[in-house]
């Protein structure tokens, strides 16, 4: 029963973090609509999330084993819980910045703790793989929830109604917190000096390989483009395609579906086609799709679309840019890095 409770908590935690981490596009649009901030100000929300993840990820390996995975997980949940309540009660743009900083710092801890707990609650390699797949599925459901269900809180007659969604998030976090709090587990982690020495040598060899730097550059531009589309798609739908805010946000879910389909197709194709052909084709097709879609968007009449049946075709085409672009890096890059490591070994 203890392990079942932990599994349920893991699902809830990853569901909430998936929703909050991928809500930047929604908050960028809401910040402009509700708080009246400029686009340049709204754009700062992405760094608040990503920089906090990067900094905390660097530190997590140092302090997490010392305080323990359970305490680390509980602290992270408290931080995000406070961030969600801050959003509801403060209702100012600074609360949005603080929320993303809280989510970023906490996720750096949560992702390590969750993957460790998956090993704790499973008894076999098959069980581990199955639970990993379920957690990843729940992560995708969290993203879909944020872009489909969360906009249902929008109300044209009450510009603050959307904040009630954060009370729901805080409630889910509270449930997860108490499940973890009353669950009995203690996972110790002691650094293996010999393993650290071996990993350091491998790291030095990897950094000396020019192909690794090529992958790093490729990854940088991939993430920059991917995050740019995700962050600004609801705003693009609203301001360029003249779709109502609620529908503009919900339409962004096509982006997430395209991402999932792209990753699935890449997993099939990479077994038959060399990864660099897939990567190159994905980048080229993605660029062509952007060149096709943007001129079409300029010819949209300034009429507000409030029904999915009346939307222009371009609103369906642009999110599919991610279907082809998502095949350009993740699986392909992974195969390339593995290839480099095999050569070094």
β-bridge mates for residue 305, sequence order: 243
pLDDT of residue 5: 86
User: Same domain, yes or no, for 120 and 246?
Assistant: no
The domain containing residue 266 runs over which residues? Answer: 200-344
Among the candidates 161, 190, 219, a domain finishes at: 190
Range in 89-93, 141-145, 215-219 with the lowest mean pLDDT: 215-219
Phi/psi region, residue 36 (left: phi>0; alpha: psi -120 to 50; beta: rest), is left
- Give domain status of residue 50, yes or no: yes
pLDDT of residue 101: 94
Using DSSP's 3-state secondary structure scheme, residue 139 falls into helix
- Give domain status of residue 23, yes or no: yes
User: Same domain, yes or no, for 176 and 216?
Assistant: no
- Give domain status of residue 92, yes or no: yes
Q: Under a CB-based contact definition with an 8 Å cutoff, are residues 321 and 289 in contact?
A: yes
- Give domain status of residue 322, yes or no: yes
User: Same domain, yes or no, for 69 and 170?
Assistant: yes
Quick: pLDDT tens for 266-282.
767 777 887 777 777 77
User: Same domain, yes or no, for 210 and 120?
Assistant: no
Does pLDDT of 102 surpass 90? yes
Q: Which pTM value belongs to this model?
A: 0.78
- Give domain status of residue 166, yes or no: yes
Among the candidates 190, 208, 237, a domain finishes at: 190
Provide the domain count of the chain. 2
pLDDT of residue 166: 95
- Give domain status of residue 91, yes or no: yes
pLDDT of residue 164: 93
> Which of these, 103, 101, 73, lies nearest to 177 by C-alpha position?
73
The CA distance from 205 to 207, in Å, is 5
User: Same domain, yes or no, for 10 and 70?
Assistant: yes
The single residue listed with the structure tokens 């973090």 is 17
User: Same domain, yes or no, for 312 and 208?
Assistant: yes
User: Same domain, yes or no, for 84 and 184?
Assistant: yes
User: Same domain, yes or no, for 176 and 69?
Assistant: yes
- Number of other CB atoms surrounding residue 199 within 10 Å: 11
- Give domain status of residue 321, yes or no: yes
Does pLDDT of 322 surpass 70? no
Pick the more confident residue, 333 or 241: 241
pLDDT of residue 283: 76
Give the sign of the dihedral formed by CA 304, CA 226, CA 150, CA 43.
negative
pLDDT of residue 95: 94
Among the candidates 157, 190, 223, a domain finishes at: 190
Cα-only R_g, the chain:
21
Does pLDDT of 331 surpass 50? no
Does pLDDT of 113 surpass 60? yes
User: Same domain, yes or no, for 206 and 114?
Assistant: no
User: Same domain, yes or no, for 136 and 184?
Assistant: yes
Count the residues in the chain. 345
User: Same domain, yes or no, for 243 and 164?
Assistant: no
β-bridge mates for residue 106, sequence order: none
User: Same domain, yes or no, for 179 and 213?
Assistant: no
Quick: pLDDT tens for 39-80.
889 888 988 888 888 888 777 767 777 788 888 899 999 999
> Which of these, 62, 59, 76, lies nearest to 113 by C-alpha position?
76
Quick: pLDDT tens for 192-203.
444 445 456 666
Q: What is the CATH number of the domain that holds 58?
A: 1.20.1250.20
Does pLDDT of 344 surpass 60? no
- Give domain status of residue 195, yes or no: no
Quick: pLDDT tens for 135-174.
888 888 888 888 888 888 888 888 889 999 999 999 999 9
């Amino acid at each position: 029963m203890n392990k079942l409770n932990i599994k349920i908590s893991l699902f809830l935690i990853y569901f909430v973090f998936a929703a909050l981490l991928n809500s930047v596009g929604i908050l960028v649009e809401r910040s402009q609509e509700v708080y009246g901030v400029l686009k340049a100000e709204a754009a700062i929300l992405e760094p608040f999330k990503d920089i906090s993840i990067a900094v905390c990820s660097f530190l997590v390996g140092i302090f997490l084993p010392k305080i323990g995975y359970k305490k680390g997980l509980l602290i992270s949940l408290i931080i995000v819980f406070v961030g969600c309540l801050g959003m509801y009660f403060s209702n100012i743009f600074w609360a949005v910045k603080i929320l993303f900083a809280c989510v970023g710092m906490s996720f750096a801890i949560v992702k390590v703790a969750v993957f460790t707990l998956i090993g704790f609650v499973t008894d076999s390699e098959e069980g581990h793989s199955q639970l990993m797949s379920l957690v990843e599925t729940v992560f995708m459901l969290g993203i879909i929830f944020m872009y489909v269900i969360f906009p249902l809180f929008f109300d044209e007659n009450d510009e603050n109604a959307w904040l009630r969604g954060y009370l729901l998030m805080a409630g889910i976090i509270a449930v997860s917190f108490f499940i973890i709090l009353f669950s009995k587990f203690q996972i110790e982690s002691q650094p293996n000096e010999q393993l650290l020495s071996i990993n350091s040598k491998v790291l030095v060899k990897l950094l000396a390989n020019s192909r690794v730097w090529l992958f790093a550059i490729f990854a940088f531009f991939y993430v920059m483009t991917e995050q740019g589309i995700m962050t600004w798609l609801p705003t693009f739908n609203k301001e360029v395609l003249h779709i109502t805010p609620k529908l503009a946000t919900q339409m962004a879910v096509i982006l997430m579906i395209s991402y999932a389909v792209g990753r699935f197709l890449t997993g099939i194709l990479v077994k038959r086609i060399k990864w660099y052909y897939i990567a190159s084709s994905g980048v080229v097709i993605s660029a062509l799709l952007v060149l096709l879609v943007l001129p079409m968007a300029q010819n949209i009449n300034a009429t507000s679309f409030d029904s999915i049946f009346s939307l222009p075709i371009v609103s369906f085409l642009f999110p599919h840019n991610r279907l082809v672009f998502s095949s350009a890096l993740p699986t392909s890059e992974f195969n390339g890095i593995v290839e480099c490591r095999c050569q070094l070994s």
